[in-house]
Amino acid sequence: MRPHGLLSMKVRAANVARPLVAAAAGLVQPLAPDFHFRRSTISARLRRFSSRIALTLAASLTISLACAAPAAPPADPIVARDQTIRIRLIDGRNGRPLSKEHLQVRVGRKPGRPQSLPTDSAGVALLHVAGSSDSIDVRTYNYLDCRPNFDAGVRPTYSVEVILKSGAVGQNSCGNATAQPAPGELVLFARTHHHWGR
């Protein structure tokens, strides 16, 4: 074959290959950004999926702990907050109210000086107690207490919870007077001193 024939064939082959190479380059070139886009999309989806799994596990753990923890008993609305107790002092012989008395009151068992609470014309003194108080101790000052053996050192105390829920009444050894306490009320009996003693 003549040399110029071989040259012509190489030129034609090059001319044929050039568009094929260009086409191949055109096919391959756009794949790079598309590949990176798909990879970033998959990574974002995996991160969102992982976040959802973490949130679900955290919520499940919180619910499990809440169910496992023992429920605190509901606070009694009567004794959970500060309250006022009415202390009513009446004559153990005739049931009349005893005014102008200064009741000596101790709340709880803490040491210290007692509170001095005056009684009004109805024989009533008001005592404010905290929700944590458990008992009170009341003593008369100007009148003689009618509770049995009171002077012998017997110092009865009264439950704050019982007083607030149903009321309480002390014993009466001075006469036949009786009283029905209301919820939140403590009724005590006393009388005046005799000039010859008790």
pTM of the model: 0.58
SS3 category, 151: helix
**Phi, psi of 149, deg, nearest 5:** 60, 20
Q: If you search the block for the tokens 């923890």, which residue do you land on? A: 69
Q: What is the pLDDT of residues 80-132, one digit of tens each?
A: 567 899 999 999 999 999 999 999 999 987 777 899 999 999 999 999 998 77
What is the spatial distance between Cα 190 and Cα 144, in angstroms, rounded to a whole number? 5
pLDDT over 60 (residue 78): no
Q: Determine the pLDDT at residue 108.
A: 86
C-beta of residue 119 within 8 angstroms of C-beta of residue 98: yes
Give me the CATH topology for the region 83-191.
Answer: Immunoglobulin-like (2.60.40)
